[in-house]
Amino acid sequence: MDGSAVGSTAGGPVVVAPGAVHVPGWLGVGAQRRLVEVCRRWAVGPVPIRHTRLPRGGVMSVRTVCLGWHWQPYRYTRTADDVNGARVAPFPEWLVRLGRRALVAAYRDPAAGDGYRPDTALINFYDDRARMGMHQDKDERSGAPVVSLSVGDSCVFRFGNTESRGRPYTDVELASGDLFVFGGPARFAYHGVPRVLPGSGNPATGLARGRLNITLRVTGLPG
């Protein structure tokens, strides 16, 4: 993955809320295909992709595997103690660079990626029925932006406000190759995925069914 196919924007950035930007078609098909391939490898190990168990007994409908730091509700650790105890795969340098380019594209500012050093990625796989309830990404001790990349089936992405799970929110359709960034005043906004749209993806990405979402984040944790 060298990101060479990045930048084939099908449309310019759309500001959904201050600090929250949707860039349709940011990843070309080649870049999406490489992401699918590498995510398939990460899904196998060292920590296998799994449905995250919630402390009160629930189980998330998406399946998740992490890089750099392992997220389990509601903290980050180096080892996946709720899965197999293994240390998660390292966060690759090319993904840091991709995150920087994402910020430059979303904020239309050549300096927007300077100093951005994401150190964890959550890779979520959604089957036809998977969803994600409204939540904040708030286990990070950093206000740096979250970079979100989507491949495969489209979904309805609900982007809300920082006060509550409820309205006002905006429903955005995230399609294969789309970038969504939330930073600044939008960084701690509630968001979720009420549904995926089965069969809407492009098989040329290598993902015949389902939806892949990768979020890059800065944990703010030491070393």
Interface residues with ligand AKG (CB under 6 A) are: 122, 124, 132, 137, 148, 157, 174, 191, 193, 213, 215
Shortest distance (Å) from residue 112 CB to ligand AKG: 21
Shortest distance (Å) from residue 178 CB to ligand AKG: 9
Candidate ranges 53-61, 74-82, 133-141, 161-169; the one touching Fe ion (CB under 5 A):
133-141
Which residues, 61 to 120, sit near Fe ion by CB under 5 A? none
100 binds, among Fe ion, ligand AKG, none (CB under 5 to 8 A by kind): none
Q: Are 100 and 107 in contact (CB under 8 A)?
A: no
With CA atoms as reference, report the closest residue to 149 among 172, 171, 132, 124: 124
Which run of H or of E encompasses 200? none
Site size for Fe ion (CB under 5 A): 1
Which residues, 160 to 189, sit near Fe ion by CB under 5 A? none
Give 170's strand partners.
159
Radius of gyration of the chain (CA): 16
Task: Calculate the dihedral angle through the C-alpha atoms of 73, 74, 75, 77, rounding to the nearest 10 degrees.
Answer: -10
Structure-token pair, residue 20: 């929250």
Q: How far apart are CA 68 and CA 86, in angstroms?
A: 12
Q: What's at 178, amino acid-wise?
A: D
Q: How far apart are CA 83 and CA 70, in angstroms?
A: 10
Q: Residue 33 or residue 215: which is nearer to ligand AKG going by CB?
A: 215
212 binds, among ligand AKG, Fe ion, none (CB under 5 to 8 A by kind): none
Burial class (CB in 10 A: 0-12, 13-18, 19+), 221: middle
Q: How far apart are CA 7 and CA 98, in angstroms?
A: 11
47 binds, among Fe ion, ligand AKG, none (CB under 5 to 8 A by kind): none
Residue whose beta carbon is closest to ligand AKG? 213
139 binds Fe ion, rule: CB under 5 A: no
Q: Residue 34 or residue 123: which is nearer to Fe ion going by CB?
A: 123
Among 133, 137, 184, 188, binds Fe ion (CB under 5 A): 137
Q: Residue 89 or residue 114: which is nearer to ligand AKG going by CB?
A: 89
Q: Residue 54 or residue 114: which is nearer to ligand AKG going by CB?
A: 54
Binding site for Fe ion (CB under 5 A): 137
